[in-house]
Structure 1
Amino acid sequence: IIRDLAAAVSNYRSQSSLQDYLEQQGQVAISGVDTRRLTRLLREKGAQHGCIMAGSVDIKKAQALAQAYPGIQGKDLAKKVSIREITTWERGTIEIGRGERSLQQAQYHIVVYDFGVKHQILRLLVDRGCRLTLVPAQTPTDEVMALDPDGVFLSNGPGDPAACGYAIENIKILMAKKSMPLFGICLGFQLVALACGAKTVKMKFGHHGTNHPVEAINSQRVFISSQNHSFAVDTDSLPDCLMVTHRSLFDGSLQGIEHRDKPVFAFQGHPESSPGPQDLRGLFDHFITLVKQSLNAKT
């Protein structure tokens, strides 16, 4: 949803116009919208349902469709966007003028549960020497363990985390294997919390943007993060086995958790943001540290 659609492609790196790209991807979009007015409306009333209609527009029908939309609460969307078959990934980050990095020497094997994973997450793991195996959202843990991973990553994704019962149960099984490092981002953060006994709630406004400040509790340092979620972990429901590592400085909501006895941690925002702030990319290094410690403990 944008105000003005550029008529000409001007960036030297562009391969197509935004309109052509959206059409190729089969994505719905609309321009000519007063986005400032829309933003004010959302700030006052919270998340709203809407309808984009093309061709012959029937306003009453559009309003009826928007009003009838049930929302995403209770919906498991992760399995809809997940891959269908196990695959691998070996592509690193892209640097302007140097191109795409590639996996030079794999030091660690990480299994990625794909709930709608962002490519930049995978690229940052590859940069850190990880050979990645991506598995569908509903993959049983025995199949994951048969891949002999050094750690498991729980990706971001859409929908209501509480509706992903299969993922919650799988995480419980993985956490029972005390030495298996787990790292969750966004939906993965919420799923880790649910697997430990916490609850999630639908937010009135949600967090959507690239400039959300969060505080690291131990160091009291402030980091700027990218955020895109409509559900949050209920602070009051957090079990004793989890400690809070980060909080939002906008509303105090939970942003980071870590298990007290297991190599398991998660972050609500997007430390991989691309584009966006890179303040929290050290979380990927923390995951690698846990993987190293787990491997050293086995030798």
Structure 2
Amino acid sequence: EERLAREAEKARREEEARLAREAEEARIAAEQERLAREAEEARQREIASWPAPYAELSVETVEGGNLTPDGDGLNDALIIKPSVHYLSEPEQDWEIVISDSKGGKFRSFQGTAPLPEAIVWDGLSDTGETVFSLNNYNVELSITPSAADQERIGRLSVKTAQNVRTGLLLQVIIPGKEWKIMVNSIFFDPDKATFNTLSPAQIAANNEALDAVVAEIIAHPGTDVIVEGFANNISNTVEENERELLPLSQERADSIVKQLILRGIPANILSSQGMGDASPLAAWEDVANWWKNRRVEFILRKD
């Protein structure tokens, strides 16, 4: 009987201890639940006081200059840093679209949460095309918030955009001997080789392009320079090329040579060639990109 009494007392104490533990665990759980509820209520009050959500974009090269992805190790890539503020939950997805100067989609990046800290853009399109010299590209960030955030803010997306300016690209054809500069931002009077009716913005663009080309020619002493004019064949016929485009592109190349001479480049190192519709960058069927075929190329060549 004494043994049974001891065992009963032991069992009683164990039961009391178990009940005490359960009571303490319940008390702790209730306290944690209360604290969590209060924290969530405080968070919701804070969210209610937030301003409208907004996105930001930082776009710059490591060196801080205009983007020139020509492989010389300077300003060859653009660092894109996206961010979004005042969303209460991770976004559903995000997209960065880079558009060319005519608004055409050039390159895109996309993904789901989390938003990347940085994206490195090499200056190439989705199809491997390189950016044009001295052009503006638009970088747009679009974020799709969570369903809860969409309901809270009354918007389906949060967007922002930044402009990116390219510099003058110098493509190496033969290392140390031959280079090419392609420019599509030199403007002429319609169907002429003159500059008489240009707007102030077009005149400024011409000066920027020609001054930049002159700087590169000076930076490569001992080179001869061939100025090549290219045109777009709207009718896609031999007749248009021979009767209109070849003569016009030759006249325009000649006009560029005169502009280079006016800027101090010796005439004896300059020559010109009208290329007409040769080497189109956009196919005849690709009407939206015909503008890419109208361009001037400068070939710098050492003997």
Q: What TM-score do you get using the length of structure 1 for normalisation?
A: 0.25
* Structure number with higher helix proportion: 2
In our comparison, the structure showing a higher alpha carbon Rg is 2
Q: What TM-score do you get using the length of structure 2 for normalisation?
A: 0.25
